[in-house]
Structure 1
Amino acid sequence: MARLLRSLLFVPGNNSRFLEKAKSLQADIVCFDLEDSVPLGEKKSARNLIKNALKNRSKYNSEIYVRTNSPVSGIIPDDLFEIIQKGVDGIVIPKVSTANEIKKIEKTMVGLEKKRKLKPIEIIASIESAQGVVNAYSIASCSKRVSALVFGVFDLLNDLGVEYTKKPEGSTYSRAKIPVDARAAGKYAIDAIWQDLDDIHGLKQDSLTAKNLGYVGKSIIHPNQVDVVHSVFYPTPVEIEWAKKVMNAYDVAKKNKKGATTVDGKMIDEVHYKRAIDLLNSIK
């Protein structure tokens, strides 16, 4: 199924004002963050803020994901216990190095989903180390619920002992490999963030490079980056067809007084309907 994954916007999970503002944002995915942007002492309060925000999912225009802490942190079970609930569309797992890490997390998710009577929740795996790059294909293909890989340039360069620049040669191979591995596994690839918020031209050029490498979208850290990224990752014919299917199917569902339906075997509801409208409006 085609999807809009042009923008993956990270929102600090410990900031209630930012979580509220995210309701009006037009990013394809808004990702509430429990990892890098949240100090260790604020993890618990951030989980509670996110848990409450998920109860108001229908008020958000975007798909809603949550980025957990990393597998090596030892606190993912605490994250999952609070965020695996109705309202979350998926989770982003940072610093994934092996497929076994995903399988272990998936086992915990399955238990929570069964207990809470939820459908399987998607996983996006973030590749941020040399080991993760080597294992990218096995990570992407280890589970049906893994929908995409994200490239994390900063931690990768730190792992390699290379300083970050706007055109870091140390990440060239890794950046090119990840979308190849993702595509071979039948999954999407989302590029790394552009750190300089004032360099809009640089963001556009970096997005074009990512698109030419096979990425379908880009991670972003500020709402002002959404329009630039969306202008580069323009909807494909397959995505446009998906949007039309969603609108037609959801219109029928509404006439039958249903709040959700399926398209190509996948559940869709009002949020997907809004994204379909936005997609079709973007090509007018």
Structure 2
Amino acid sequence: MARLYRSLLFVPGNNPRFLEKAKTSQSDIVCFDLEDSVPDSEKKNARKLIRDALKSRDSYSSSIYVRTNSPISGKIPDDLSEIIQKGLDGIVIPKVNNAKELGKIIKLIQSLEKKRKLKPLFVIPSIESAEGVVNTYHIAKSSKRIPAVVFGVFDLLNDMGIEYTKQSEGAKYSRAKIPLDARAAGVLVIDAIWQDLKDLEGLKQDCIIGKNLGYSGKSIIHPDQIIICHELFAPNKSELEWARKVCSIYEESTKKGKGATVVDGKMIDEVHYKQAKALLDLEKK
């Protein structure tokens, strides 16, 4: 499975038709949602539908993640109990405020993995509060399971008491800080959604801004947004050079019987290698 993060498509977990359509999605990550797009009365049904969809994992070409409910909701234990199974690549945890909070959730995931004899899942924290923005570096650095973090602009603005506009003036500092912290922690970062489905030119300009801030991709809510995201978050020359260096050094390290190694002063393991290889594979297409 290619480890690219140009697009993360949210799919409502309570909609069987959308879950089925996601099988043909070209998004790098398809994220079945249990949170914002699913009303409380539909949570149990959504868990069941997602669990059933994962049984058809081979029919999906994208990486498959599930977004749980938020830590404060109290619903995460039930979410994880139902959806952690073979076929799942990772979990998106919304509204993460600090590393301690995330650590407790990861312990629940580890326990279920052990009981069900599953490989470790990736975990992508979503930063959606003032506290989360302040703690982004520590959150991103808190576990080797974390390949990326997500920026959630709407809940952040709500937390700050700021009204949303397309320019998101009130989120400019946070939008710039999150990728800085994430990259310093050695992980990638996925930008917030563009809400206006009809304004594709606006989406394009927003992707350009995000790319220039250091984001690797974008959260999206409709398949029509995929092509633009993939075009504008295509790897640049320096990223491809980094990928070639990582692949070369890591492959030499493994030939000598070693695992993790160091590239330009940073620790590189199998996750980084797979990310780099995915970028080079993309270049060949």
Q: Settle same-fold status: TM greater than 0.5.
A: yes
SS in 1 for 2:147: strand
| Residue in structure 2 matched with residue 77 of structure 1 by the alignment | 77
Is the contact between residue 13 and residue 32 of structure 1 (CA under 8 Å) also seen in structure 2? yes
Is the contact between residue 151 and residue 175 of structure 1 (CA under 8 Å) also seen in structure 2? yes
1:231 aligns with 2:231: yes
How many residue pairs are counted as aligned between the two chains?
Answer: 262
Is the contact between residue 240 and residue 279 of structure 1 (CA under 8 Å) also seen in structure 2? no
Counterpart of 2:198, as a letter, is D
Counterpart of 2:210, as a letter, is A
**Distance (Å, rounded) in 2 between the aligned partners of 1:168 and 1:129:** 15
**Distance (Å, rounded) in 2 between the aligned partners of 1:217 and 1:87:** 23
| Residue in structure 2 matched with residue 122 of structure 1 by the alignment | 122
**Distance (Å, rounded) in 2 between the aligned partners of 1:4 and 1:122:** 13
| Residue in structure 2 matched with residue 104 of structure 1 by the alignment | 104
**Distance (Å, rounded) in 2 between the aligned partners of 1:72 and 1:130:** 15
Give CA-to-partner distance per residue, 1:243-278, whole Å, 9 cap, x none.
x99xxxxxxxxxxxxxxxxxx635999xx9xx9599
**Distance (Å, rounded) in 1 between the aligned partners of 2:271 and 2:188:** 16
| Residue in structure 1 matched with residue 91 of structure 2 by the alignment | 91
Unaligned runs of 5+ in 1: 246-263
| Residue in structure 1 matched with residue 270 of structure 2 by the alignment | 265
Give CA-to-partner distance per residue, 1:164-214, whole Å, 9 cap, x none.
001021100000000011001101110000000000000000000000000
1:278–1:52: structure 2 CA closer, same or farther, 3 Å change rule? Answer: farther
Give CA-to-partner distance per residue, 1:77-135, whole Å, 9 cap, x none.
00000111111100000001011111000111111000111111010000000011011
Is the contact between residue 11 and residue 30 of structure 1 (CA under 8 Å) also seen in structure 2? yes
What percent of counterpart residues are identical?
Answer: 66
| Residue in structure 2 matched with residue 46 of structure 1 by the alignment | 46
Is the contact between residue 3 and residue 239 of structure 1 (CA under 8 Å) also seen in structure 2? no
Is the contact between residue 240 and residue 279 of structure 2 (CA under 8 Å) also seen in structure 1? no
Counterpart of 2:61, as a letter, is N
Counterpart of 2:178, as a letter, is I
Query: 1:1-284 counterparts in 2 under 5 A?
Result: 3-235=3-235, 236-237=239-240, 265=270, 280=282, 284=285
RMSD of equivalent CA atoms:
2.7
Counterpart of 2:6, as a letter, is R
Unaligned runs of 5+ in 2: 249-268
